[in-house]
Amino acid sequence: MPELLSAYCFTDLDRLPLLRERLKVRAGELDLVGTILLASEGINFSLGGEPAAIDAWVDYLAAEHGIQALIINRSVVETVPFLRLKVRIRPEIITFDPDLRPGQVPTGKALSPRQWHALIEGEEVQLVDTRNHYEYEIGSFKSAVDPNIDSFTEFRQWALDHLKPDQPVAMFCTGGVRCEKASAWLLANGFDQVFQLEGGILNYLREIPAEQSLWQGDCYVFDDRVAVDHALQPTGRVLCAACSRPAEGLDASGMPPIGLQRDCGLCGEQFDAGRLAGLRERVRQIALARERGQTHIGPQAQPEAAQRHQDWSSR
């Protein structure tokens, strides 16, 4: 069965346009699909393909480009949740603060899933979900604080306003990359004890049995699975065809309930007549594709909304 590999590494990279082309060629040779983000600070990617191809890709990064300290999440999937390969150059592999370089400055203490479990179960810590509100809303750790942010860059001001520098902070995100920057930023701004979940939520779900778990709900993921359960299996959630966020109250195609005033019954967003017509047509095309047996779910089926909310730099 195919596998999905999500990983990141903060390491100095240069000649990015050339590197982009080399990675694109090699991933293509291995029939890997997904998204690769490159920046001078490192690499962040999620790729799907055959297990042997995944192994070859990891070996290639280490042997040819010196990218050896990858933080990896790897899992078996029934279907690769990507349609094509994208390799992009960005100012940062996770948009937060371009002057903050994990690997060059201290970051929080990374805890294994077992260590993390013991910490948040037995000690008084400020347990913080660094993800966006729409991610928190469908699942999080028991007793975790929701910063209620729409963008990761908002976390900095929220932390200054709400967290206590003299008390331990335990933070987590989907795969760990957001916490690298958030923890470095806290340490640089007077926080003494900062812990982070190594490999993020996905690593915890893989390592901790469901009957012992402190995780509640689904985990949002940045691919066509939309969300996974504790067994890392897709839960069948859909994204709103308008805003590309998971929400309760959507039909199977992701169409939100629209009122007489062309307003969304879930969030209140107003639609003009043209946009609403386009939204309904896209949903109709998705339904037709599904009837033909084609896989058109999640962000890949909603390119306009995905551009706003599936940007990998927000992971």
Per-residue confidence (pLDDT) for residue 300, from 0 to 100: 40
Torsion angles phi and psi, residue 74, rounded to 5: -135, 135
Per-residue confidence (pLDDT) for residue 250, from 0 to 100: 86
Examine the residue annotation and report whether 173 is marked as an active-site residue of this protein: yes
Looking at per-residue pLDDT, the higher value among 305 and 291 belongs to 291
pLDDT confidence band for 298 (50 / 70 / 90)? very low
Span 10-31, average pLDDT:
97
Percent share of the chain, pLDDT over 70: 93
Q: What is the 3-state secondary structure (H, E, C) of the chain?
A: CCEEEEEEEECCCCCHHHHHHHHHHHHHHCCCEEEEEEECCEEEEEEEECHHHHHHHHHHHHHHHCCCCCEEEEEECCCCCCCCEEEEECCCCCCCCCCCCECCECCCEEECHHHHHHHHHHCCCEEEECCCHHHHHHEEECCCECCCCCCHHHHHHHHHHHCCCCCCEEEECCCCHHHHHHHHHHHHCCCCCEEEECCHHHHHHHHCCCCCCCEEECEECCCCCCEECCCCCECCCCECCCCCCECCCCCCCCCCCECCCCEECCCCCECCHHHHHHHHHHHHHHHHHHHCCCCCCHHHHCHHHHHHHCCHHHC
* Mean pLDDT of the chain, nearest integer: 90
Enumerate the β-bridge partners of residue 72: 7
pLDDT in tens, 182-238: 999 999 999 999 999 999 999 999 999 999 999 999 999 999 899 999 999 999 998
Residue 313 has pLDDT above 80, yes or no: no
Looking at per-residue pLDDT, the higher value among 268 and 173 belongs to 173
In 3D space, the residue among 51, 37, 61 whose CA is nearest the CA of residue 5 turns out to be 51
Percent share of the chain, pLDDT over 90: 73
Least confident among 40-49, 106-115, 272-281: 272-281
User: Of 9, 173, 240, 243, which is the active-site residue?
Assistant: 173
- Rounded to an integer, what distance in angstroms lies between the CA atom of residue 32 and that of residue 49? 5
Q: Are 160 and 147 in contact (CB under 8 A)?
A: no
Per-residue confidence (pLDDT) for residue 217, from 0 to 100: 96
Looking at per-residue pLDDT, the higher value among 57 and 123 belongs to 57
Per-residue confidence (pLDDT) for residue 293, from 0 to 100: 67
Residue 151 has pLDDT above 90, yes or no: yes
Per-residue confidence (pLDDT) for residue 86, from 0 to 100: 97
Q: Are 216 and 143 in contact (CB under 8 A)?
A: no
pLDDT confidence band for 294 (50 / 70 / 90)? low
Residue 302 has pLDDT above 50, yes or no: no
Least confident among 79-93, 134-148, 170-184, 251-265: 251-265
- Rounded to an integer, what distance in angstroms lies between the CA atom of residue 311 and that of residue 247? 19
What tokens does 293 get? 């047996």
Enumerate the β-bridge partners of residue 258: 264
- Rounded to an integer, what distance in angstroms lies between the CA atom of residue 186 and that of residue 177? 15
pLDDT confidence band for 73 (50 / 70 / 90)? very high
pLDDT in tens, 191-200: 999 999 999 9
Per-residue confidence (pLDDT) for residue 288, from 0 to 100: 80
Least confident among 38-42, 45-49, 95-99, 304-308: 304-308
Residue 116 has pLDDT above 60, yes or no: yes
pLDDT in tens, 236-272: 998 988 888 888 888 888 888 998 888 998 888 889 8
In 3D space, the residue among 26, 117, 124 whose CA is nearest the CA of residue 67 turns out to be 26
Hey, what domains does the chain have and what are their CATH numbers? 3-89 (3.30.70.100), 109-217 (3.40.250.10), 234-314 (no CATH)
- Rounded to an integer, what distance in angstroms lies between the CA atom of residue 241 and that of residue 253? 8
85-89 and 33-39 strand pairing:
parallel
